[in-house]
Amino acid sequence: MATSTPVDDAPRAPRPSDGGLHQVSITLSILNRVLAGYGPRDFALRLWDGSTIPPDPSHEARFTLVLNSPGALRHMMLPPNEVALGESYLDGDWEIEGDIIAAMRLGDCFEKVAMGPRELLTLASQLRALPSGRDGRHERAMYGRQASALQGDAHSKERDRQAISYHYDAGNEFFSLFLGRRMIYSCGYFPTGQEDLDTAQEAKLEYLCRKLRLKPGERLLDIGCGWGGLILYAAERYGVQALGISLSQPQVDIANQRIAEAGLSERCKAILLDYRDLMSYGLFDKVVSVGMVEHVGRSKLLRYFQSAWQGLRPGGLFLNHGISAAGSDAGSSNFLDRYLFQRGGFIRKYVFPDGELIPAGDTLGYAERAGFEVRDVESLREHYALTLRHWVRRLEANVDTAMRLVDPRTYRVWHLYMAGCSHAFAMARLSIHQALLAKPDERGCCCHPMTRSDLYAG
């Protein structure tokens, strides 16, 4: 394994005081331990006093890691978990200048420090030797988005509403800064990898409709319809009668506004409804769910698929599109990852409270228990890594507008979470699967053709 070039060059001017030199020495020693497996250093380092260390001579800096105070590493690594690392970013202890997605490799090193017990004790002692106090920057950073504080039983209807409200309280205008023209909050579909975001998102909508084999006049249900992009597209391009349900009133309002502007209110609408309350809306020919199953929770997965089954006509299709945990990922079973580093803890605390990512095989098992036949499964992992890269760049390009709409802490949450997720998809720690499920009729028939050829025609 390649080892990192030591970060022990003399920091460039300005020179710190003697006390500052001691803190610099400890900081560089810690970084050398933590980043030992990073490989050739393709980033620069800037310390709180303005002194800098360039990347390796043969590499250009893809980003600069900025430590804003002598105690930055202490706040980043004590306790040694993902939440502390993320919260220290929200609190202004450290910054990334440049490619924040490339910088996510640093998080891998912080997570996977390969040391024995004696070395870990030495590292902890060094961290505690750094100052624990913060300056005015931290006091300013405390204002804004705080950790979620949901009430009630996990995945009850009321608590699910609270979770959705917490996530979307940044506002429709904020999401519009990075999601693209159709406001699609899930991965695009990039046939060549060179498409722009809007083209990729329209290609994804088309792909979903083709997989469902939609026909004019059919009833389509979208569970978790977001801002209505899919139901609007399906009604306009495929002539279906579409109903979308969501737990976010602002999303429902925008969806119906856009539907009215398109002149499709007679064929398409969005309503505020929990997936467990679908029985009074009759049967649908096709059902789709995009980016919603992640919020259901393992304890409610069977109920979720049963609701879709009960709302689907015999012979119909259900397309379930959702992010899944990689079953082979050490984070799903390794004690240190689950209980010490707390992988995923930051997102659960500040982004998607109560969200649960479940391996695709487990999810499909619940679908089969509900009665579904699995007809087709496809991974779009690389597509989501690329989509998130587009979202990060668009958010960065609109930073001034974002800061007028939300507080800096909220901006930092989204900036960090999307960059980290892009890296996780690229590294196969996360995946996303489209599962096409069938409800065969009494003769065993469903709407699925013999081959996939129709998906790629034209």
**Domain of 193: which CATH number?**
3.40.50.150
Cα angle, residue 340 at apex, residues 296 and 163 outer, rounded to 5° = 25
What is the structure's pLDDT at 341? 56
- Express each pLDDT in 230-245 by its tens digit: 999 999 999 999 999 9
Q: How many CB atoms lie within 10 A of CB 377?
A: 15
Give the full edge-to-edge strand order of the sheet including 43-46: 52-53, 43-46, 63-67, 94-98
268 a catalytic residue: no
Among 141, 176, 205, identify where a domain stops. Answer: 141
Is 318 within 8 Å of 372 (Cβ atoms)? yes
- Whether 379 and 448 map to the same domain: the answer is yes
- Whether 120 and 161 map to the same domain: the answer is no
Both structure tokens of 38: 């990073």
Its pTM stands at 0.92
- Whether 122 and 163 map to the same domain: the answer is no
Count of domains forming the chain: 2
Percent of residues, the chain, with pLDDT higher than 90: 80
What is the structure's pLDDT at 331? 45
Both structure tokens of 346: 């930051």
- Express each pLDDT in 92-121 by its tens digit: 999 999 999 999 999 988 887 766 778 888
Is 127 within 8 Å of 78 (Cβ atoms)? yes
Query: Could you list the residue range(s) of the whole structural domain that residue 40 is in?
Result: 18-141
Q: Among 187, 268, 421, 446, which one carries the catalytic annotation?
A: 421
146 within domain boundaries: no
What is the structure's pLDDT at 118? 82
Among 92, 110, 141, identify where a domain stops. Answer: 141
The secondary structure element, H or E, covering residue 328 is none
Is 240 within 8 Å of 212 (Cβ atoms)? no
Q: How many CB atoms lie within 10 A of CB 274?
A: 16
- Express each pLDDT in 341-380 by its tens digit: 567 899 999 999 999 999 999 999 999 999 999 999 999 9
Mean pLDDT of 187-199: 97
Among 141, 165, 189, identify where a domain stops. Answer: 141
Q: How many CB atoms lie within 10 A of CB 420?
A: 26
- Whether 94 and 209 map to the same domain: the answer is no
Q: What are phi and psi of 40, to 5 degrees?
A: -55, 135
- Whether 135 and 277 map to the same domain: the answer is no
333 within domain boundaries: yes
Cα angle, residue 453 at apex, residues 452 and 454 outer, rounded to 5° = 95
- Express each pLDDT in 235-291 by its tens digit: 999 999 999 999 999 999 999 999 999 999 999 999 999 999 999 999 999 999 999
* DSSP per-residue string spanning 310-363: HTEEEEEEEEEEEEEE-TT-GGGT-HIIIIIS-TTHHHHHHTSTT-----HHHH
- Whether 240 and 206 map to the same domain: the answer is yes
- Whether 231 and 314 map to the same domain: the answer is yes
